[in-house]
Amino acid sequence: MDTEPLTDPRRIGEVLDRLRLHKQLLGAHIPNHKGVFNSLILAVDSDSHTFLLDELVPSIANSYLAGERRLIIRTTFNGVEIRWDCKFVSEGIDDGASYFQFQFPEQMDYRERRQSYRVQLPRGRDLPVVLKLDTERVYEGRVADISFGGIGIELDHADVATAIEDGDFRPGVEISDVEICFEDEEQPLQFGVEVRHTRAKDVGVGLRRRKVVHCSAQFRDLQQSVAGRLRGFIQAQQRQLISGRRER
């Protein structure tokens, strides 16, 4: 699994709000108490960096929370495991039902769950990729890894630093125009993706050391012909990998 620690309050607020909109069921752990309790996000306030949780179920958990004043929350949303630790701020009552206000977490762990085997593409055997956000924002990179479910794209950090600050590669963003071109094919492969997470890292050694951004994304609404070509490429890479291991 790939884990991205989110620390930017803006991005954390966006994730919380998506969970709210989809009425995502949350699993809550209370320190020093056994069991998993459930709740939903009622509201998100990005200005005050707080959010509201519905009362916990079973209801005994509400009394536990009053003593501990802290929750550890876990959920899985669209194949991504999300975990955060949050501090209790206040309690309120609306129409006879309790709700709780919490601070945004200092860090949220955003972990992608692999649903299919992902083939790593080594440097030196680069597969170019082009992401077209619009007519002016076009970014070129290389395919770092690929599976039947998604793709890992490596981009030069200097090229996309501003786009990342603007939120163009935040989790949940859909990019509808992505192209890769196989060496033995003239027609590029076109498809859309949904960004799952991004992270910066250093590659190379010595004078060749540089910073890149790894963007992990899930395929969206693949056409049957595109899915077939992807499947053929991935299977060929898997056969080549297995053959190389046998020759060692």
Instruction: Residue 227: count other Cβ atoms within 10 Å of its Cβ.
Output: 13
Check whether residue 40 and residue 99 sit in a common domain: yes
Residue that has been written with the tokens 């077939």 in this structure: 228
Among candidate residues 88, 112, 136, the one where a domain is terminated: 112
Per-residue model confidence (pLDDT) at position 241: 67
d(CA 208, CA 193): 30
Say yes or no: 136 and 193 in one domain.
yes
Q: Are residues 127 and 104 in the same domain?
A: no
Tell which of 82, 112, 142 closes a domain. Answer: 112
Residues 97 and 54: their CA atoms lie apart, in Å, by 8
Of residues 245 and 155, which shows the higher confidence score? 155
The H-or-E segment that residue 117 falls in is none
- Residue 228: predicted pLDDT: 87
Number of domains into which the chain is organized = 2
Q: What share of the chain is helix, strand, coil (3-state, %, to 5)?
A: 25, 45, 30
Q: And the tokens for 61?
A: 């958990």
Q: Which domain holds residue 212?
A: 119-246
Stated as kind and residue range, the H or E segment containing 72 is strand 70-77
Instruction: Tell whether 51 and 149 lie within a shared domain.
Output: no
The model's confidence at residue 177, banded by pLDDT at 50, 70 and 90, is very high
**CA 1 to chain centroid:** 11
- Asked if pLDDT for residue 246 goes beyond 60, the answer is no
Pair type for strands 26-29 and 189-203: unpaired
One domain, residues 203 and 162: yes
Same domain, yes or no: 190 and 235:
yes
13-56 pLDDT, tens digit per residue, is 999 999 999 999 999 999 999 889 999 999 999 999 999 999 99
Quick check: 114 pLDDT over 60? no
Q: Are 61 and 73 in contact (CB under 8 A)?
A: no
The better pLDDT of the pair 79, 43 is held by: 43
Query: Same domain for 136 and 223?
Result: yes
Helix (H/G/I), strand (E/B), else coil: 232: helix
- pLDDT band at residue 247, thresholds of 50, 70 and 90? low
217, amino acid identity? A
Do 66 and 138 lie in one domain? The reply is: no
pLDDT interval class at 115 (50, 70, 90):
low
Mean pLDDT value across the chain: 86
Residues 156 and 240 in one domain: yes
User: Per this entry, what is the length of the chain?
Assistant: 248
Tell me the mean pLDDT in the region 233-245: 71
DSSP, residue by residue, 1-20: -EEEEE--HHHHHHHHHHHH
Q: What is the pLDDT of residues 30-39, one digit of tens each?
A: 999 988 999 9
CATH number at residue 6: 2.30.110.10
CATH label of the domain that carries residue 171: 2.40.10.220
Q: Which amino acid is at 130?
A: V
